[in-house]
Structure 1
Amino acid sequence: MSSFSPGALLRNLKPDNFTIALLVTVALASFLPCSGTTAVVFGHVTTVAIGLLFFLHGAKLSREAVVAGALHWRLHLLVLASTFILFPLLGLALRPLALTFLTPDLYMGILFLCALPSTVQSSIAMTAMARGNVPAAICSASASNFIGIFLAPILVGLLIAKGAESKSSVDAVLSIVMQLLLPFLAGQFLRRWIGRWVDRHKATLKYVDQGSILLVVYTAFSEAVNEGIWHTLSVETLVALGLISLLLLALVLGISTLVSRRLGFSKEDEIAIVFCASKKSLASGVPMAKVLFSTRSLGMVILPLMLFHQIQLMVCAVIAQRYARRDEGKEATVSTL
């Protein structure tokens, strides 16, 4: 059996380029926040960028991949149940602990991330790294994102009290339809004509995804800085937020692993379930937050999601490597016989 490599662990814990860009954006907003007319212009540019982001999501979503994996319905139901039922229930269960150490706005951010769909790219990448059922992961993650456009705003309304600074339900639905759903459906409709071009240029188009998120983060944190976010957040609060996020992720990973084994799924299916069921999408979550929440509370709401995003990538990368090495001991034993 091969030994665990500290070097490999450190490489997995190293932040990726996008995470570094997020940190730089937060720092930029902290020292050079936009305000007044500049903030209004950035707001309009961000709205257009979000529409383009969801248009490309629709154009990139392969119907063939969804149809190919749709027959594995037990796996997909388990992933969706974890994403849209288990996560919200755990978020509510953590309320006493969270409100002991966090502000109400940060706890609102935790509830918001619990309502979000799974990631697509990282769920598939982790499943492939761990040698799991990649077609099933593609189908589950894609279905989660599509269903999340409709379901996430409803869950946010159910989880977050009416007194919270979120937009009214009618305004939220109209905003979701106009800014997110219509561009997404337009991308799906036009995929037959532009799908091949989009697939060929995925590496380039990812900068549209990342640029849109960075724009929302910059405008949100600019407003938060103008409202005095760094005067109300202490280092202890940030550490507590990180630990609560880690606890939430650990609970979901443990429960999804246990349930998949009790239900008799293969190891490859278990891997797809674990990685698709434990992720939350930054790419979908940040634009949704801008649509659903008032500008004043936006920075605090997306902060838990940004932190959870990095934690899930680091932890799941380590787990994926452990899954990938699962047969090495057996192979070494067989080779000595």
Structure 2
Amino acid sequence: MLRLLAKVGLNGFFFCLIGVIFLAYYFPTIGLHESPWHLPQIAEYGVSIIFFFYGLKLSPQKLKSGLTNWKLHILIQTATFGLFPLLILSLQNLLGVDKTSLFWIGIFYLAVLPSTVSSSVVMVAIAKGNLPAAIFNASISSIIGIFITPLWMSGLLEQQDANFELFPVTLRLCFEVLLPVIVGYVLHSQLGKWAERYNHVLRLFDQTIILLIVYTSFCESFAGGMFEGQSMRDLSILGAEMLAFFFLVFGLLYLLSSWLGFSYEDRVTVLFCGSKKSLVQGAVMGKVLFPNPVALGVVLLPLMMYHALQLLAGSIIAQQWGSKH
């Protein structure tokens, strides 16, 4: 089980993620914008490099092999960008949650993010699902999210900040995220094998940049007193809500894929690609969508909890299903 958890993401990086939050709590000044270390600026440049390497590793052959099953793709992308936010909006109206709460904004933000790539594909492989379709959907989700996520967030953020404008935000995401992906994809035939050979090193670079983003975000939040008044009980309740939300989406997708008559392999792909949310994309887009660094740490907290819990619960389910098929 430890090896399995490490394979899907609950490894040293996960514990480093927890560690940098404690570092931010005890040493917040190092990660602030005015610090001489310039860590926030380094993280910004690192983001574009991450997505350049992501484009390098995108195989045209693998993407083409997953194109044909359009019903499967539509269901996964609809779940990722439609079912998630609609469920959150319904629950918000049902429970009467304060929409101005940063935790609520963070929960809605995770709901409109694209699916994660690596852990989705790994879990589909473990559960013996449709791997080409998983690679296609996880990859295309990241690109679609550049446009859909800001669009979903625009209405909410315009209420919070009258100066928020959708077009400049989308343009900046295209420049910082989409353009590096396209450049990397164009260079795949020349540098793709190199990227695969050094995939482990590139993964360490990705993780380092994400840790920097999380660290600097929480430094700003702790320095600005954004977590004052939040108890461990509040955080535990938030974690329980994230786990319940994961199983709610997972259950609905199971019913939908069964009702549509999908094969076992396709159903597995729907469940593990359609129920995941990307911490990488969330951290990257968060720096653009939430220019106030003091608030970003609080907004990212629900996503970080959901990310960890989706890996834990998903890996257990994937292992059980894989052992039966």
TM-score (ref. length: structure 2)? 0.92
Match of 1:163 in 2: 159
Match of 1:303 among 273, 297, 301: 301
Of 79, 88, 93, which aligns to 2:90?
A: 93
Distance 1:48 1:10 in 2: 33
Match of 1:219 in 2: 216
Distance 1:11 1:270 in 2: 21
Listed as ranges, the matches of 1:201-240 within 5 Å are 201-240=198-237
Aligned length: 319
> 2:106 aligned to 97, 109, 112, which one?
109
Report if the CA contact (8 A) 2:115-2:138 is conserved: yes
Q: Which residue of 2 aligns with 1:124?
A: 121
Deviation, 1:174, is 2.7
Which residue number corresponds to residue 23 of structure 2? 28
Q: Find the counterpart in structure 1 of residue 196 from structure 2.
A: 199
Mark the runs of 5 or more structure 1 residues left unpaired by the alignment: 1-7, 328-337
Any conservation in 2 of the 1:124–1:137 contact (CA below 8 Å)? yes
CA displacement, residues 124-171 of structure 1 (integer Å, 9 cap, x when unaligned): 11011111111111111111112112222112214x242225943233
Superposition CA RMSD, Å:
2.2
Contact 1:49/1:212 (<8 A) preserved: yes
Instruction: Say yes or no: does 1:250 pair with 2:247.
Output: yes
Partner Cα distance (1:150, 1:196) in 2: 30
User: Which whole-Å CA distance do the structure 2 matches of 1:312 and 1:172 have between them?
Assistant: 28
Q: Which residue of 2 aligns with 1:331?
A: none
| Structure-2 residue corresponding to 1:317 | 315
Do the aligned residues in 2 keep the contact of 1:98 with 1:244 (CA within 8 Å)?
A: no
Tell whether the 8 Å contact from 2:158 to 2:164 is kept in structure 1 after alignment: no
Mapped partners of 2:166, 2:56: distance in 1: 28
Mean Cα deviation higher: 164-173 or 256-265: 164-173
The structure-2 alpha-carbon separation of the partners of 1:288 and 1:36, relative to structure 1 and needing over 3 Å to count, comes to closer
Structure 1: distance between partners of 2:290 and 2:183: 25
**Same amino acid, percent of matched pairs:** 37
Flag the 1:254–1:198 CA change in 2: closer, same or farther, 3 A.
Answer: same
Indicate the residue corresponding to 1:334 in structure 2. none
What is the TM-score normalised by the length of structure 1?
Answer: 0.89
Instruction: Choose the corresponding residue for 1:266, options 263, 266, 281.
Output: 263
Radius of gyration: which is bigger? 1
Partner of 2:12: 17
- In the other structure, the counterpart of 2:278 is 281
Cα shift at 1:36 = 5.4
Structure 2, unaligned runs of 5 or more: none
